[in-house]
Amino acid sequence: MKAKTEAIFAKAGDALKNATENAESSANVFANKAINKIDDLAITTAISSELLKDAEIKFFRINVDTKDGAVVLKGTVPTDLVRERAAAIAKTFSGVQSVDNQLVIKAK
């Protein structure tokens, strides 16, 4: 009987250990996703702020979105020079993995 009881406790201990490991793994995944969202928000905010400081760009509405370090620029600008300048600014920030420049050139 003692051996059977010990086996039951050992099984229960293993099950508890597995459940704890699974919970820790899930918590880590959730935490990493939250950190990525915060990083993306920080990147978006920093790029948007820098674009607003630029004398040649600040008058144009450029939408900046970031997901997992991939930045997307959308909006309308008057020249290819402004379009490329916006992308160059976006690429300078830490955490930026890529820049998808979807800015459309439309002369005034």
Neighbours of 70 (CB within 10 A): 14
Torsion sign over Cα 90, 92, 95, 98 = positive
For the beta carbon of residue 44, count every other beta carbon within 10 angstroms.
19
Q: What is the pLDDT of residues 74-107, one digit of tens each?
A: 999 999 999 999 999 999 999 999 999 999 999 7
Output the six-digit token pair for 30.
């959730």
Average pLDDT, the chain: 83
Give residue-wise pLDDT tens across range 57-78: 989 999 999 999 999 999 999 9
Domain that holds residue 20: 2-105
State the pLDDT at residue 23.
56
> Into how many domains does the chain fold?
1
* Cβ partners under 8 Å of residue 64, min gap 6: 44, 47, 48, 51, 71, 72, 73, 90
